[in-house]
Every structure is written in structure tokens, then in C-alpha cells.
Amino acid sequence: MRVSLKTWVVLALAGLTAAAPSVHTVKVKETTRVPRGWTKRDKAPRDLLIDLRIAIPQSNFPALEQHLWEISDPFNERYGAHLSHEEVNELIAPHPESVGAVDAWLAEHGLTEADIARSPAGDWVKVRVPVGKVENMLDATYHVYEHADGSTLVRTTSYGLPEHLHAHVEFIQPTTLFSRFRPNKATFHFSQAVSAAPAEENAPAISVPSASGGSVDASCNTNITVTCLKQLYNAVGYTPLANTGNQVAATGYLEEFASFSDLQLFFKSQVPAAVNSSFNVISINGGLNNQTEPGGEANLDTQFLFGITHPIPATFFTTGGRPPFIPDIGSTENTNEPYLDWLDFILNTPHPPQTISTSYADDEQTVPVNFAQRVCQGFAQLGAKGVSLTFSSGDGGVGDGDPDPATQECITNDGRNKTEFLPLFPPSCPFVTAVGGTIHVPETAVDFSGGGFSNVFDRPLFQAVAVPEFLEKLAPGTFKGLFNPNGRAIPDVAAQADNFLVFIDGEEFHIGGTSAAAPTFAGFVSLLNDARIRAGKSSLGFLNPLIYSIGLVHTGAFNDITTGNNPGCGTEGFNATAGWDPVTGFGTPNFGILKEIVLALP
């Protein structure tokens, strides 16, 4: 059959139209200012591969949140009735219309189902695409940004989407996220240890009525060990079991590796019963655990967390990828999104460890609000499945996480250039337990203990009594305009945070920071889980409603810290006081009393 020229042209144009992306009105989805400390460098290489993560709105998160409040409330008849992995996924699955809209948009840009990775619930979509394609998809321009500390990120300060997609996409990253996610370790407290002086070794024990046996070794005033912590927090003589199904874990990022040989030296010195035991390593995104490069943060976390909890099965999550990305060395992949990779993994794990400790965070203001809220919802999902998450509250007092007061800026990044106290994220998420720091015996607040009030998250219901009580104690006008009195307050609790004896590369050192407090508190949470599981009960899961209920009505369950403060931003910071305070929360744990309380719960 002969086809006329006119018909051929019409058919050819129709084919071209079908193959080309549809024409949609593109509207800016998100913009950001470049945070202080970052400098824009060259344009990002167009062939650089980026794992583009697309957050699709969760259809019924309010229902999941309601479940979480009920199963975490010790006064609710549903307490401890955690949801299954499948039940959680069903509640957060996105609406089919949103999934279809996003899939159609990806298809318009030549991406097929084979190119797409989805979370089990379908609320996250990930595609690996080169910068050049991302710029076309998002109407954006990516550059390499360098921080004053030498770290670099590939980012854009603005991106857009077809207008019809805005209702179906919460956000896309990496785009405007300038968080560095660094360890909460006060490195200026890192010093090689010296043996206790003979006078100290022979000194009488320190009287601490709440401690095991009513006293603590005098050496604990300068050298914190597992024995010191068990004495101080009333856990001497409690031995957990290895075969109950209880698990505990620490997270590692930025090429912080945990040494097996250093762990054995630590066990030989502090936990002889644990010698020849170890921990499992789970690699995420190619994470390594290089035994020739032990890290102080990773060794601190694993030695103390797993020393307190031995013989509970232990896991070290090592997640690959770290800044800086250096585009001139031939790298074709952007690998500086390790935290998102860990979150992807743990949310996709049907039976994660019941207690997970993390000692990394960043300034809350460097995290886009929509990203912070969605990540926080991910923590809620873990809580609903029975996981307790502890995060160190930071080492900058009320400041920006910088442990050196001389270099703290405490200036907002939103264009106002206003002086404010700057909390950290993820500790500011209400669905995690933020752990502040203490020092010495008897305990006092350590001066670098991070604390304050979120500028992103409102005060949660579990803080409705304790936090206003603290605010009422402040003199009128105290720090007016420097903090958000209606925000989620941190920390929730505290633990020792300085003079921890750890082994690194075969040598013994002191390390300080709330990086030590988070695994310490998590260790005692894992012991409480052991007690509950042995009694045929569920794990504790999301802790905060229980902590605030106990803190308000059970005298002695937490050791109330009433001295010390957390200076920063050119101020003396908040004071530790009776009851909850934004330096040490409700205080440090009394394991013996807490064990009796949690065993009395359903």
C-alpha cells in the first residue's frame, strides 16, 4: 500500500510525540540558602551518578502514629503490642494515584521498572541516574560545594517538578540537604589515658545511695569502665541471656571501623567473661570494617555498648560512603549519602535489633524540614515494630554542635542571620530518645551536654507536663528569643559522657562526648529488654512515653542531676535542676528500679 507524503508526515510526528516527554508546566518544588561554611565550586560532572531518592506521601501515617502512641503508653491496655513489619508497611503505603503519577514521570524520562528500586511499602523510590539527566528531570543545576572543614557535597539550591506532581511527591534528595552528619564526639576530650594514681586506687569508695551496694569505686571519678557504669546505675549482678531473641546494635559511618582485636583487649581489661566473644558486622552500601584502621568513635560505641550487654547478640552496622567527593580523581559515583543508605536498609529489615544506638548528628537547621519530618516518621515506624533508638544529644551545649565555644556561630541560615540556640537532628525528632551527658561521681551535668528546643518539631504530648514545669522555673526573659519554648525539648535522659577508657589500635585512651552517653544508656535499655523478654513480655520499643511517665511519678527510677549547665552561643546555657531539664533530661538510669517497673507492665 502506498502512503501519501502527508500521511507519512502525520504518522512520523505522532511517533515523535509519543517518544518525547510530555510537556508539563514545571514549578519550583523547593529552594534553600547555602548554609554558612559552604562555598560553591565547579559544576558537578554531568556523568556523575546520583542515587535520587523520591519520597511519595504516606497514605495513612496518622493511623500508624496513633498505634505508636497507644502501644508505647504504659497506661494503655495495648502497651507493648508492637506491629509487624507487614502491618507497618500497609499503614504507610502511598496512594496508587501517587505511585502512578511518579512512575509516569520517570517513564517520560526513559526510566523503566528495571531502573527503579522501591521500599517494601512503596513510599520511597530510588533511581540511579547521572547528574545531566537529574538536571533535566528537576530543572536544576548541580554544583560541588565545599565546607570549611574540607568535606564536599554535590547539591543544588533549587529544583522543580511538573506542577501536577507536587501533590504526589514530598521531596527529592539529594538536592537541598547540606547536612554533614558527623560524630557527636568532643574530640578535645580525647587524650591518652594514664593509670590511676596509687592514692586514688586506695581511696575509699564514694557513697552513692542509688548505686549497687550504695557506693562506687573512687577510680570512677577519673576512669569510666563497664564496672563503674554497672555500679553507678545499679546493675551489678545482673547477667543477661544470649538466646532470648534479644539483640543490640551500634551504627557506624564515615569509615569509622570497629576493631575486633581492640575489643578483646577491652574485654580482657573490663569484661573478662566476654573474652573471645565478638559482634556481627552487617555491611550496607559496601561498608567496610577495615581492621588496620580502627576508629575512636566505632571502638567507643562497640566496646561499651557490647561490654555492658554481653552476651546479648550484638551487631555493628557499617555503612559505606563518606564525604568528601572529589570530582577530579575520576570518581563516577556520588557516595556521600551514608545515612540515607542506612535508613533505607533498616526500614526494609523485618526484624531489626530491639535496641540501636547512634552517635552521629548535625545541626537541625541544615536539614530541610520536609526531609527531617519524613526521616522522623521512619523512626516512628521502627518504634512501632518494637525498636528503641538512642541518639547522643550533641557536644556543643546549647550551641551548634561545635564543641569549641570559640568557633560556635549560633546564627540562623534562613537569611535572618539571627543569633539562636541550635539543636541537633536526629536527636530533635520526638520518636528517638536523646541522651545528654554527665561527669564525675556523684554526677553533675557535663558542660558540653547538648540540649535545648527544636525549631522543627513541636512539643510532643509526652512532654506536656515536664517541660512546662521547667520553663516556669526560668526567670522571666531568660534567653528570650534564643530558643523556641514550644519545640520538642532535648535531651530526654543522660548518662556518663567523659573519661571513658577505650582501646584504639592496641593502646588505652580516654574519650569523652555524648557519643559515650548514647551507647551507655542503650546498653541498659537492652538489659531491660532482656528482663522483659525472659518474662514472656515484648521489648520496650519507643521509649519516650514510658520515660516521661516514669520520670513524673517514680522517684528514684532516674538519678536526678541538679548541678551543672551546658554553655554555648556566648551564654551559660541552661541549668540542670530538679526534675526534667534541657541539659540532662530526667537524669541517668537506675537499672534496678527500672527493671522492677518494666516487669510490672503488660
Active site residues: 297, 301, 515
Tell which residue, 314, 392, 384, 377, has the closest CA to residue 540.
Answer: 384
Where is 361: in which H helix or E strand? Answer: strand 360-363
Note whether 372 and 178 are within 8 A (CB): no
What span, in angstroms and rounded, lies between the C-alpha atoms of 542 and 525? 11
Pairwise CA distance, residues 565 & 444, whole Å: 9
Q: What is the 3-state secondary structure (H, E, C) of 220-276?
A: HHCCECHHHHHHHCCCCCCCCCCCCCCCEEEEECCCCECCHHHHHHHHHHHCHHHCC
Q: φ and ψ at 217, to 5 degrees?
A: -55, 140
User: How do the residues of the chain divide into helix, strand and coil, expressed in percent and rounded to 5?
Assistant: 35, 20, 45
The answer to whether the annotation marks 402 as part of a ligand binding site is no
CB 397 within 8 A of CB 424: no
The set of cell numbers assigned to 385 is 515494630
> How far is C-alpha 573 from the chain's CA centre?
23
**Does the annotation flag 505 for ligand binding?**
no
The verdict on whether residue 356 carries a ligand-binding annotation is no
**Beta carbons of 212 and 524 less than 8 angstroms apart:** no
561 is in an annotated binding site: yes
Q: Alpha-carbon dihedral of residues 566, 571, 572, 576, nearest 10 degrees?
A: -50
The three-state DSSP-derived secondary structure of 98-164 is HHHHHHHHHHHCCCCHHHEEECCCCCEEEEEEEHHHHHHHHCCCCEEEEECCCCEEEECCEEEEEHH
Rounded Cα distance, 598 and 549, in Å: 12
Distance set, CA 313 to CA 153, 180, 529, 530 (Å)? 36, 31, 13, 11
Binding-site positions read 560-561, 579, 581
Binding-site positions for Ca(2+) read 560-561, 579, 581
